[in-house]
Amino acid sequence: MRKFLTGLFIFLLVAAAAGYFLYPTVSDQLGQLRDAEIMRDYRQKAAAMDAEKKAELFSAAKEYNEGLESIRVDDVFSGNAPRTTRDYQNRLNVHSGVIGELVIPKINVSLPVYHQSTETPATRKLVHVDGSSLPAGGSRENIILAGPGILKAEGFLGNIGLTDDRMLENLDSLIPGDLVILDVLDRTFVYRVSEVQMLSSAGLRELDLTPQEGEARLTLVSRHNDRRLLVQTEQVPIQEARTVFAEEDKATFPENWQNILLMGSPVILAGLLILLIIEKIKGRHYRIPGEGRQSARQKQKARQQIEQITTDTTEGEEKP
């Protein structure tokens, strides 16, 4: 009985340790699947929408932006999420409160952007901060998106240090020049990082983020312990972004076929040498199915016939 209890204790201990280390990865993957499903539904609804309806939504977003006199950010990570108006919630609301999708290629981020509300606070989701510009393609915008770096698990799991989604965990690895993409309906807005800074929550509140005429900006805010990470970006033409991505792709591959051949030749030669050595060691030759067995039977039969002839001959010589 004692042996059984000891084995059970060890099993439960190993299972608990494995669960502790695997939970963040599994939870993060499940979160990504949920986000992918939400964005799939979003794209289906956007695709089913006619051009007139899309133009109407962007026009309403521009109207909202024109009513903004200044843009400042309260600390959206402390206290309860502020209540937002129904008018705000209806702007660019395509599916389940989702405005669009944020994509940051460098840190492999692809997240739905929600309207800020009590149901979707910045402490749980990536949200558009109410009081900042909506993505409408205007000439005077500063869109502010806020979300957690690492999403702490709720309840007891969070108390023991487990985490759920890693949303903007690596946002601090962005540097000036990196690209950020915001997809809204059938439009794609591309931004280049211009500044990355770490602030206190009080310092964040003091910033005046109101854009000047002709400025189109996107600002990302994330919580890092008791500090606030601020990433400011400026919109760039899509063609310029295509050129940047093309140069990055080109940099990851050899410039010409001679380099590819030079790099691949040792691998090919090593593979052929290994195959040759294996064939030599095995002394292998190929037969059709059953050929080996049939050959063995024929040899055995021939041996028996020779033995029979020898026996008959010997007996014939002994008779006289």
Q: Give domain limits for the chain.
A: 11-251
- Those residues of the chain that have pLDDT short of 50 are 286, 288-289, 291, 319
CB atoms within 10 A of CB 270: 10
3-state secondary structure of 303: helix
Tell which CATH architecture fits domain 11-251.
Answer: Beta Barrel (2.40)
- CA distances 307 to 276, 297, 301, Å, are 41, 15, 10
**131-146 pLDDT, tens digit each:** 899 999 888 899 999 9
Report how far residue 233's alpha carbon sits from residue 106's, in angstroms, rounded to the nearest whole number: 14
CB neighbourhood size of 49 (10 A): 15
Return the pLDDT at 202. 85
> Of 87, 91, 132, 96, which Cα lies nearest the Cα of 114?
96
The reported pLDDT for the residue numbered 133 is 93
pLDDT (tens digit, 9 = 90+) per residue, 153-162? 666 666 666 6
| Rounded Cα gap, residues 183 and 238, in angstroms | 12
Instruction: Look up the pTM and report it.
Output: 0.71
Buried b / exposed e along 157-170 (16+ C-beta atoms within 10 A): eeeeebbbbbbbbe
pLDDT in tens, 35-87: 889 999 999 999 999 999 999 999 999 999 988 888 888 888 876 666 788 88
